Amino acid sequence: MFRVELLPDLAKLKKSEDHPIYKTQFLLHRRITVEPPHPRNGPVQCTNCQEYGHTKKYCTLRSVCVACGELHRTSDCTKKSLNDRSLIKCGNCNGNHTANYRGCEVYKHLKRNFTLKRQGLRNPSGNPFIAADLAPHRPTTNPPTGGYSYAEALKSETSNPQSYPAPGNNLELVLTQFMQSMQSMLSQIMQMQSQLMSALIGKK
């Protein structure tokens, strides 16, 4: 399978007309099938740090094992070869599954927002802030005593869903609520970051 990107044609096609490339059946004496790109149905996940929103090529974070959730590359993991399910831990929610498990609460939460965002793009008259409820960024290490995990933060977000008024009723109120939501998430991220830095300084 190959992905081919072509420059747009100068001549515009009609709505009912397909691009001529889709009619290509043979290339270098081989039968081929040309298909349009398949749309992504979920958030992209990095295979280096196991977080969502970017790929390994653009990752600058420390490696996290997809199997045990510890800070090392998946290829260097010694626990995944033991076939012991009790050693499996998700680095995103600390659940008893691998980090790329599609039943993970973190993945399902982000996929829901991803789906809502796509629906908002397809229906511009919908609420543009419906998909702005992004989950807070998780730390790559266990939070220090007194902190809270990503799963706990996610649970608090889902147990207290925010409702936004329909657009057009009061745009100023919508923007105010959106900014308050962003400030709340940023404060949680800064709090977790300060706790993590304090823990790292304490270990030294």
Residue 6 in any domain: the answer is no
Is the model's pLDDT at 144 over the cut of 70?
no
Share of the chain above pLDDT 90, in %: 25
In a domain, 79, yes or no: yes
Chain position carrying tokens 């070869």? 81
Within a domain: residue 198?
yes
User: Does some domain include residue 26?
Assistant: no
The pLDDT of residue 152: 57
In a domain, 31, yes or no: no
Domain that holds residue 131: 56-203
**Rounded CA separation 57/5 (Å):** 19
Sorted by sequence, the CB contacts under 8 Å of residue 35 that are 6+ apart come out as 22
Give a yes or no: residue 33 inside a domain. no
Q: Is residue 126 part of a domain?
A: yes
Structural domains of the chain, count: 1
Spatial distance between the Cα atoms of 51 and 110, rounded to a whole number of angstroms: 11
Within a domain: 109? yes
Tens-digit pLDDT profile for residues 86-123 = 889 999 999 999 999 999 999 999 988 887 777 665 55
